[in-house]
């Protein structure tokens, strides 16, 4: 591994740098033109990813967003609806792509904890009356990023899948951090991926690859997805140089994501004793979201516009980076590229910024 970052960068698990093994694999990669299907490293990565998800085939994507949006485009027709949880990434952080690219409307279900129940999904599905849009797809997010990294239990997924199947809907999983979910549940990732028509997961989040996500599904689905990826400008050429890092990510980094989940849990244990900070849910994976109390971290300084931003700015002065999500919520995400003493560093920083 490269020397640990001197700062404690908890803004996201996307901030990790490729490991020495990844850099070596990148330098040594066999490559070809992937638009002709001739990049051997990409072809191997696609086989390995499909196998891990228990799918027939997979496709190397430049980003998770392109993976999700390609899946929606292939599964749906313009003018139809997609059932999503209200805080999902697909709805909130993909620049309205489902509307602009695929002509889709979200049908958002508001939940307390980020976990939709089968009855709620059933109630959201439009009846077959001519003046309604057709509901075409249900998308789940596991782990659920903005719900504090919550893991959707497998039985909840199965219940939703059975409702969706019954109604003839397609099912997509945004599994950007599927390996963190699998580690929490103590099952192989293919069990979390089971029962979906398509699954997207990221190589560039907790697994440390510099670029890339995988879209997995049946062979006919992936054939279509390959066309859509090209249409979106995502056809890549000798991208085996980056796929090589993705292969190392799958081989070497998957087994260790449980450590990231554990670090988030230990961080929460210590932070929950701090007055003025409330952890929204005990972390199940590598994401921790807390709310910042006004009395403790409210700012009198000019130009500071929110407690969360004020808190984050003060932490930064102590070498700890976190992400202000809105006026009151702050996110911290654990990953392998953090120093050994991360919990101590965070606690020291928090102690020095308090009232
Ligand atoms: N999430 C990123 C940012 O977009 C906020 C992060 O730091 O968490 N699905 C989920 C659940 C995600 O969390 C993300 C990225 C994506 C999809 C999109 O992946 P990319 O960034 O590769 O397009």
In the chain, where does the domain assigned CATH 3.90.1150.10 lie?
A: 8-14+256-353
Pairing of strands 198-202, 170-174: parallel
Count of beta carbons in the 10 Å neighbourhood of residue 134: 14
Q: What are the two backbone dihedrals, phi and then psi, of residue 139, each rounded to the nearest 5 degrees? A: -115, 130
Cα dihedral across residues 75, 79, 84, 90: positive or negative:
positive
DSSP string, 119-157: HHHHHHSPPS-TTSPPEEEEEEESSBGGGTSBPPPHHHH
Q: Is the pLDDT of residue 354 over 90?
A: no
Tokens of 18: 């490729």
Residues with CB under 6 A from ligand 1: 12, 14, 63-65, 68, 89, 93, 141, 145, 174, 176, 202, 204, 213
Pairing of strands 287-292, 135-141: unpaired
Q: Encode pLDDT of 77-104 as tens digits.
A: 999 999 999 999 999 999 999 999 999 9
Q: Does the model's pTM come out above 0.75?
A: yes
| Residue 294 binned pLDDT confidence (cut-offs 50, 70, 90) | confident
The CA distance from 98 to 82, in Å, is 9
Ligand 1 atom at minimum distance from 11 CA: 7
Nearest to 123 by CA among 113, 138, 112: 138
* Fold of the CATH domain 18-255: 3.40.640
Beta strands, E only, the chain: 8-9, 57-61, 81-85, 105-109, 135-141, 170-174, 198-202, 213-217, 277-279, 287-292, 320-321, 323-324, 329-333
9, 10, 86, 93: residue to mutate for ligand 1 pocket, most atoms within 8 A of CB: 93
Nearest to 76 by CA among 101, 108, 104: 104
Residue 161, CA distances (Å) to 30, 86, 170 in order: 40, 18, 9
Distance from Cα 351 to the centre of ligand 1, integer Å: 30
Tokens of 336: 């392998």
Distance from Cα 105 to the centre of ligand 1, integer Å: 20
Distance from Cα 89 to the centre of ligand 1, integer Å: 7
Q: Encode pLDDT of 24-77 as tens digits.
A: 999 999 999 999 999 999 999 999 999 999 999 999 999 999 999 999 999 999
Ligand 1 atom at minimum distance from 67 CA: 23
Distance from Cα 64 to the centre of ligand 1, integer Å: 6
Query: What is the H or E stretch that residue 32 is in?
Result: none
Ligand 1 atom at minimum distance from 13 CA: 7
- The confidence score (pLDDT) of residue 68 equals 99
The CA distance from 206 to 33, in Å, is 28
DSSP string, 184-243: HHTS-HHHHHTT-SEEEEESSSTT--SS-EEEEE-HHHHHHHHHHHHHTT---SSTHHHH
Pairing of strands 287-292, 329-333: antiparallel
- Calculated CA dihedral for residues 260, 261, 267, 269, nearest 10 degrees: -160
- The confidence score (pLDDT) of residue 295 equals 66
If one looks up domain 8-14+256-353 in CATH, what number appears?
3.90.1150.10
Q: Encode pLDDT of 113-153 as tens digits.
A: 999 999 999 999 999 999 999 999 999 999 999 999 999 99
Cα dihedral across residues 199, 204, 207, 209: positive or negative:
positive
Distance from Cα 295 to the centre of ligand 1, integer Å: 32
Q: Is the pLDDT of residue 5 over 60?
A: no
In the chain, where does the domain assigned CATH 3.40.640.10 lie?
A: 18-255
84 in Cβ contact with 107 (< 8 Å): yes
The percent of residues above 90 in pLDDT, for the chain, comes to 91
Distance from Cα 171 to the centre of ligand 1, integer Å: 19
């Amino acid at each position: 591994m490269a020397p640990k970052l001197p700062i404690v960068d908890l803004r996201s698990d996307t901030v990790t740098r490729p490991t020495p093994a990844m850099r070596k694999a990148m330098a040594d990669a066999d490559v070809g033109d992937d638009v002709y299907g001739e990049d051997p490293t990409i072809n191997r990565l696609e086989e390995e990813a499909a196998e891990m998800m228990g799918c027939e085939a997979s496709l190397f994507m430049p980003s998770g967003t392109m993976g999700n949006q390609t899946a929606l485009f292939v599964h749906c027709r313009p003018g139809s609806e997609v059932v999503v949880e209200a805080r999902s990434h697909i709805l909130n952080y993909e620049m309205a792509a489902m509307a602009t690219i695929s002509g889709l409307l979200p049908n958002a279900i508001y939940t307390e904890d980020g976990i939709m129940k089968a009855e709620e999904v059933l109630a959201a599905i439009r009846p077959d009356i001519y003046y309604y849009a057709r509901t075409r797809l249900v998308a789940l997010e596991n782990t659920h990023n903005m719900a504090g990294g919550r893991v959707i239990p497998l039985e909840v997924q199965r219940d939703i899948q059975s409702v969706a199947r019954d109604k003839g809907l397609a099912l997509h999983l945004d599994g950007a951090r599927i390996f963190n979910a699998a580690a929490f549940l103590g099952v192989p990732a293919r069990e979390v991926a089971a029962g979906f028509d398509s699954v997207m997961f990221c190589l560039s989040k907790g697994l440390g690859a510099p670029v890339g996500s995988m879209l997995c599904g049946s062979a006919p689905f992936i054939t279509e997805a390959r066309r859509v990826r090209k249409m979106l400008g995502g056809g890549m050429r000798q991208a085996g140089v980056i796929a090589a890092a993705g292969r190392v990510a799958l081989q070497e980094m998957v087994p260790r994501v449980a450590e990231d989940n554990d670090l988030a849990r230990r961080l929460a244990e210590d932070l929950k004793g701090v007055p003025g900070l409330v952890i929204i849910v005990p972390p199940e994976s590598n994401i921790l979201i807390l709310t910042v109390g006004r009395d403790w971290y409210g700012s009198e300084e000019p130009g500071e516009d929110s407690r969360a931003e004020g808190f984050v700015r003060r932490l930064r002065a102590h070498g700890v980076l976190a992400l202000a999500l809105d006026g009151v919520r702050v996110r911290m995400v654990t990953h392998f590229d953090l120093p050994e003493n991360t919990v101590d560093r965070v606690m020291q920083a928090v102690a020095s910024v308090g009232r």
